[in-house]
Amino acid sequence: MARRRAGALAERIVALLAQAPGPLGGLELVERLRDGGDPAAPSLVFRALRQLVDAGKVQKLLLARGYLLRDGDQPLYLHCRHCGAILVAPGEAVRAAVEAAAGRAGFRTHRIFAELPGCCADCARKRDRRGPVP
């Protein structure tokens, strides 16, 4: 029964992340589960998130303080510091460089991703028109 519940919780979390326009924090997921009539203890939600991250289905983003569904094997997450937008970009060259550097050090990577803070195109255009964006 507990195993079935854990699997159902993970499926519900994946569904909520799929519907979200951006990253969701763990406690936001707890609230959305509760609001949707499927309450779960925060510890169970965070355990399910860890399992989803370990399985490569979900990415934990430190800068955005939230979780996103993984979109294939694209390790570059571009985080706009001005508007909070998260863009996912292909990163084959970055992955190859990181794997090569790790290999030279005798280190084996399990999963490679990078979060890059910066300024999205929309915010850059606004800055160009009005000066620096706060």
Give the list of residues 6+ apart from residue 27 with CB closer than 8 angstroms, or none: 42
Domain spans of the chain? 1-70, 72-134
Q: What is the pLDDT of residue 41?
A: 95
Domain 1-70 has CATH 1.10.10.10: yes
> What predicted TM-score, i.e. pTM, was given to this entire model?
0.79
In tens digits, what is the pLDDT along the chain, a chain of 134 residues?
Answer: 455 476 899 999 999 999 999 999 999 999 999 999 999 999 999 999 999 999 989 999 999 899 999 877 767 899 999 999 998 888 888 888 999 999 999 998 887 888 999 999 999 998 888 765 55
Q: What is the pLDDT of residue 71?
A: 75
Architecture of domain 72-134: 2-Layer Sandwich (3.30)
72-134 and 1-70 share a CATH fold = no
Cα–Cα distance, 29 to 7 (Å, whole number): 16
